[in-house]
Structure 1
Amino acid sequence: MTIAGKRALITGIHGFTGRYMAAELQASGYDVIGLGSQPSDDADYHQIDLADGPGLRTLLATVQPDVVVHLAALAFVGHGSADAFYRVNLIGTRNLLEAIAANGKQLDCVLLASSANVYGNVSEGLLSESTPPAPANDYAVSKLAMEYMANLWRDKLPIVIARPFNYTGVGQADNFLLPKIVSHFRRKAQKIELGNLDVWRDFSDVRALVHAYRGLIETKPVGETVNVSSGRVYSLREVIAMCTAITGHQIQVEVNPAFVRSNEVKTLCGDNSKLRSLIGGWHTPSLDETLSWMLAE
């Protein structure tokens, strides 16, 4: 695949993942065009809501991308409005796929970012792409519904679905767990309030994640669903211990019952063998490397 001059449209380009994705694709020679819901003076940026089907069709006809990376989503699981998850993650994605198909141009790849939350509370062993989904909250249901809806377009569009497990890095909002912990250590807070400390999560580095997404765009396993994960889990206790070791700062941890979610997924560990078979040599930095990067910023 010759990349020079290829046009990549990234939805949600101003989000945490979108900024890293744009840098990754630009460094590889793509011309990057951004789409988002907020105003911006950035060059090659278009403000448009995913609810605006006609606007999306006009934009696709103007931009004529070779690749679409669909990152725009409502992602914070604790978000108050269930309706918003379905409006953005399901209906918004459908409007986008409809606009891409209506444009008529033959694309190289349409990468849709789903979520490992679709696996729900299955906690035994590694979760592979063949693990039956069992979503446990509205966010996860909206993402799984998006995957099923996208199947309706598989004969028309070169769709690849990525299921990222947790990932983090510099610039992620503090309402996500690791940035919250990091910010407490950076400002040498005396105590931190957290929910359940005995949840185990598979964490990747956002820089490795966007490298995986670029690899999927270029290998084009069309019609496939692919986990993006480190294949290792860490409990929040271990994360606190790593931050303590990196900074030398001791912090008092208090469990706030209000932060303990009843439908919390206890263990999420992803089998990444399919990803690594598609993208030779892919790996994510160890979690202490990622935390050191975040703590140093």
Structure 2
Amino acid sequence: MINAAKTVLITGSEGFTGQYMAAEMQAAGYHVAGLGSKSATTVDYYQADLTSIAELTAVIAQVQPDIVIHLAAIAFVGHGDANAFYQINLQGTRNLLEVLAKAEKKPEAILFASSANVYGNTSEGSLSENTLPAPANDYAVSKLAMEYMAKLWQDRLPIIITRPFNYTGVGQAENFLLPKIVAHFKSQANVIELGNLEVWRDFSDVRAVVNAYRRLIEAKAFGHTVNVCSEAVYSLREIVAMCEEITGHRIDIQVNPAFVRAGEVKTLCGDATLLKTIIGNWQVPKLHETLSWMLKSE
């Protein structure tokens, strides 16, 4: 008898990362089911609110997932409602864990996406998983609290936690920095307002990030908290220059003091040693390639 494909439940499946995650898992032969808080017409999609144990219980009982990839979160740091970070990112995750722990069929792997935001912006240089967390906003605090809370369940459930650094790609909302820059170039705007141009950040491609998530699951990296990062840093000035080179369009940068964060660390770079130790060779497209893909997309 041929084994049926393993079923993966992706929370936040209709979001930016979720859509790439679904494509990654489908391409690898998995059967994908999605979960989100809004209605959608996607096949095998289930609507449920993470704050409702009853709704989550019904979905888990119906899907009976072999693997759960938990991406659903309030992810925009500037989101206006601080309480939502805790209700969704923390309490919603706890509800999901409680339901999975009680499920008739236990998942064989659960991956949670946390965030490199937990490191804050006070540590210079290359940050490994041993860097002390110093969250600087409610989003980061909610993600770090989620990590600690998830660890309470590690003796009952096979949990992997990832800490992705910045990543981007086609379809990311324009309230994120690189899509904002790309949108200005696509519309051939003459001026763009940015913050500090001399901050250096680690940017990955969303396609490489979801590939790392799948491979961490297949490597059974249970009990680990793992950075997902490119180990390459770029300044905003360099990113704008790359977009100018790709498009041939010149843009005037105006620094808006309102966008400059006090005490911002000049360089934030991730250390991906642990990730590569667990999954082996892993390639991130150069940022120039990712920007070209975004600039040339319809």
Q: What TM-score bracket applies, with the shorter chain setting the length?
A: over 0.9
**Does residue 94 of the first structure (1) align with residue 94 of the second (2)?**
yes
**Which position in structure 2 is the counterpart of 1:214?**
214
Give distance in 2, aligned partners of 1:195 and 1:47.
38
**Local SS of the residue matching 2:246:** helix
Q: CA-to-partner distance for each residue in 1:213-269, whole Å, 9 max, x for gaps?
A: 000110011010000000011110110111111111110011112222336454321
Instruction: Say yes or no: does 1:151 pair with 2:161.
Output: no
The answer on whether the counterparts of 2:124 and 2:265 sit within 8 Å (CA) in structure 1 is: no
Letter of the 2:31 partner, please give it: D
CA RMSD between the two structures: 1.3
- SS of the equivalent of 1:49 reads coil
The verdict on how the C-alpha distance between 1:43 and 1:74 changes in structure 2, with shifts beyond 3 A counting, is same
Determine the structure 1 residue equivalent to 2:169. Answer: 169
What is aligned with 2:48?
Answer: 48
- Specify the alignment match of 1:252 in structure 2: 252
Q: What count of residue pairs does the alignment treat as equivalent?
A: 296
- Alignment partner, residue 276 of structure 2: 276
Contact 1:3 1:30 in 2 (8 A): no
Instruction: State the distance in 2 between where 1:260 and 1:59 align.
Output: 44
Cα distance in structure 1, aligned partners of 2:3 and 2:185:
42
Give runs of aligned pairs for residues 119-268 of structure 1, distance below 5 A: 119-262=119-262, 264-268=264-268
Give the deviation of 1:192 after TM superposition. 0.5
User: What per-residue deviation string (whole Å, max 9, x for no partner) do you get for residues 17-66 of structure 1?
Assistant: 00000000001111100000111122100111101111101211111000
Contact 2:201 2:233 in 1 (8 A): yes
Give, in angstroms, the shift of residue 161 of structure 1. 0.1
SS in 1 for 2:35: strand
For 1:63-82, what aligned pairs fall within 5 Å after superposition?
A: 63-82=63-82
* Cα contact 1:123–1:266 (8 A) shared by 2: no
User: What TM-score do the two structures reach when normalised by structure 2?
Assistant: 0.96
Whole-angstrom CA distance in 2 between matches of 1:3 and 1:19: 26
% same residue:
67
Deviation at 1:104, TM superposition (A): 3.6
8 Å CA contact retained: 1:10, 1:71: yes
In structure 2, what is the Cα distance between the partners aligned to 1:80 and 1:158?
Answer: 34
- For structure 1, the 5+ residue unaligned runs are none
Cα distance change, pair 190–124 in 1 and its aligned pair in 2 (3 A)? same
**How big is the shift at 1:3?**
8.3
C-alpha distance in structure 2 between counterparts of 1:116 and 1:3, whole Å: 37
Match of 2:270, SS state, is coil
The change in CA–CA distance for 1:98 and 1:263 in structure 2 (over 3 A counts) is farther
The 8 Å contact of residues 64 and 105 in structure 1, kept in 2 or not, is answered as yes
In 2 relative to 1, CA 190–215 (structure 1 residues): closer, same or farther, beyond 3 Å?
same
Q: How far 1:122 moved relative to its partner?
A: 3.3
Supply the AA of the counterpart residue of 2:277.
Answer: S
**Secondary structure at 1:269's aligned position in 2?**
strand
Q: Give 1:60's aligned amino acid.
A: I
Partner of 1:58: 58
Deviates more, 1:95-104 or 1:167-176: 95-104
